[in-house]
Amino acid sequence: MLRYFPVVALTGARQVGKTTLLRCAQRDWKYFNLESPDTRTLIESDPVGFLESHPDQIILDEIQRVPNLLSHLQVVVDEDRRPGKFLISGSQNLLLSESISQTLAGRAAYVALPGVSQTELRGAGLQGEDVNETLFAGSYPGRISDAIPPHIFFDQYIATYLERDLRTLRNVTDLTQFRRFMALLAGRIGSTLDYASIANDIGTAPNTLRRWLSVLEASYLVYELPPYYNNFGKRYIKSPKLYFTDTGLVCRLLGLTSAAQLEGHFARGGLFENYVIMEVAKQIQNLGLDTKLYFYRDSNQVEVDLLIERAGTITPVEIKSSATFTNSFLKGLAKWATLTNQPKTCGKLVHSGRPGPIGQVELVNVLDLTPVQSQ
């Protein structure tokens, strides 16, 4: 992106590694952290003079702390449109993207950084072999590198997010109620969004929930998987499914303090599905693939957990947390093949058992998702 745009904006969830990535990737660039009161005061007192002194190759971290600086950046960029001048970053997508859309439209490339992927962990020799441990550990790089126990890390993460980030957003005034809302969503991962049902459970208006959900999306904490629309002659589900971007965060919101508690837990299947879908989404994002993800479900509850659409081809993927294969796992894949007149070999099944062929369907172990991601 630096080859083509004067400004590149890097966003993502708090603690996902944006600062580390920027400082490692561009070691010769001048770095300014706008979380620092001294730095912020320096820039706010004379933004024009600051940019004249640093006309290019600078990193402005947490730029949402000085939103007015974006207007001055616009002026500088309009006078000199050479690519690769500024790197800006911020955790609050809601604030940063709004500012970019108003002041840097057409001037900035917009890139989001996900959590550490399984492929990256494998390359660093840090990938675990236990599925429950993997789900419980999450994908935040600081927690992994510092070996912080997940329940301790996520307690602090949630407190920081609620007490610091959300207080700056006008959409949220009742933080206690919002915390209950997050916990309720954690118990419904993999389910279609039903605002009326959720509102009834926590005693608030559906419109309030929609605003709260937009805040979670803006903070890169949740991910919506859209349904696949096509005319198959049947009614089909039109609401998206909701997942969290990190399964470790979900575990803590559910009150779990150890990976062992996942065994037999009601949410384990949803967590497993959440993990697989986010790993595929990360790989697509990291490789810059022109690939779209969906799910399919009709009114008869016939469902395919994940549809991967790329280059005009759709690969159906069924996701089962069990390590023991049964033929019932293939029900959705068989129905999809019939609906679309595709061969039965078009599908894949991700589970926690051994990989290999079962009849005409390829089984992929959850700890080796590359065959699914490369499809």
Q: What is the pLDDT of residues 300-349, one digit of tens each?
A: 777 899 999 888 888 899 998 887 777 788 888 888 888 888 766 678 88
In percent, the amount of the chain with pLDDT more than 70 equals: 86
Residue 221's pLDDT band, with cuts at 50, 70 and 90, is very high
The letter for the amino acid at 43 is: I
Q: How far is CA 146 from CA 80, 107, 140, 143, 153, in A?
A: 42, 37, 10, 5, 10
What is the distance between the alpha carbons of residues 89 and 63, in angstroms, rounded to a whole number?
6
The DSSP H or E segment spanning 330 is none
3-state secondary structure of 219: coil
Which residues, listed in sequence order, are joined to residue 90 by a DSSP beta bridge?
11
Which residues, listed in sequence order, are joined to residue 364 by a DSSP beta bridge?
350
pLDDT at 97: 59
pLDDT for residue 363 is more than 60: no
Q: Is the Cα dihedral 40, 116, 256, 306 positive or negative?
A: positive
Among 3.40.1710.10, 3.40.50.11540, 3.10.20.90, 3.40.50.300, name the CATH number for the domain at 7-112.
Answer: 3.40.50.300
pTM of the model: 0.87
pLDDT for residue 121 is more than 70: yes
Residue-wise over 1-14: b if at least 16 C-beta within 10 A, else e? bbeebbbbbbbbbb
pLDDT for residue 95 is more than 60: no
Tell me the average pLDDT across 44-70: 87
Q: Which residues contact 366 (CB under 8 A, 6 or more apart)?
A: 131, 134, 272, 275, 276, 350, 351, 352
372 alpha carbon, distance to own chain's centre: 18
pLDDT tens per residue, range 184-212: 999 999 988 888 888 888 888 888 888 88
Both structure tokens of 47: 């933004």
Q: Where are the alpha helices (DSSP H) in 114-246?
A: 118-123, 131-137, 141-145, 150-160, 175-186, 195-202, 206-218
Nearest Cα to 86, choosing from 44, 26, 161?
26
- The per-residue pLDDT of the chain, averaged, comes to 84
Domain-wise residue ranges, the chain: 7-112, 118-221+243-264
Which residues, listed in sequence order, are joined to residue 105 by a DSSP beta bridge?
none
Tell me the average pLDDT across 352-368: 59
Q: Where are the alpha helices (DSSP H) in the chain?
A: 18-25, 37-45, 47-53, 69-79, 93-103, 118-123, 131-137, 141-145, 150-160, 175-186, 195-202, 206-218, 247-253, 268-287, 331-340, 370-373
pLDDT for residue 237 is more than 60: yes
Q: Is the Cα dihedral 272, 237, 218, 195 positive or negative?
A: negative
Pairing of strands 86-90, 7-11: parallel
Residue 294's pLDDT band, with cuts at 50, 70 and 90, is very high
